[in-house]
Amino acid sequence: MNSATPDAKQARVTYADEGSDGWGTMAAPGETRPEANPVRNEFALERYRYILQQIHAVNENAHRFLALYQTLATALVSAALALFVGYRKWNVPPATARGGVIGLLALVTVVAAFTGTLIVVGALAWLDFRNEECDITDEMIGPGFRKRPRAGNFARWYETYVLLFILVSVITMWVLAAFFLLPAMR
């Protein structure tokens, strides 16, 4: 091979301050310019900070969703109980009162379904952000720095127990209404 034309492995990249005409050449594929590493590292650090912020936000949102469910469920069930207690005094026909109780419990069920959906979506987003966090640490620090999350660990996630609480509370409300409230409204 001619010594004047180096092969691809021996190609040297020149920069603006190195060339005789004041202009450098572009980096060959697979090569990075020296100034690219600090920019890449800074970008990775900013992305890592953003991911950690999003993970924190997802964790906080689960608590907000539970508070939303508890507030709305308490208000709607209180309204159903108030209807049960006062329908005679208010001269509301029993069939209408039963329909009102069923309607309020249906609203509680819709709120529970909405809250459950938000919690599940939040858990999936958390998994995605944690995997991206692991990708960044694997590349910037080294493979295995952070263990990847496993969906099999769901028994240790508090979202699992929030969902179970919501499910059990909705089932309990419907069972109590079906066996005690609705039959008493004749």
Q: What's residue 30's pLDDT?
A: 53
Alpha carbon distances (Å) from 3 to 6, 8, 18, 26, 49:
6, 13, 20, 21, 48
Q: How many whole angstroms from its chain centre is CA 82?
A: 36
Ordered per-residue pLDDT tens for the chain, 186 residues: 444 444 444 444 434 444 444 444 444 555 555 556 889 999 999 999 999 999 999 999 989 999 999 999 999 999 999 999 999 999 999 999 999 999 999 999 999 999 999 999 999 999 999 999 999 999 999 999 999 998 788 899 989 999 999 999 999 999 999 999 999 998
pTM above 0.85, yes or no: no
Alpha carbon distances (Å) from 57 to 30, 50, 63, 122:
37, 10, 10, 9
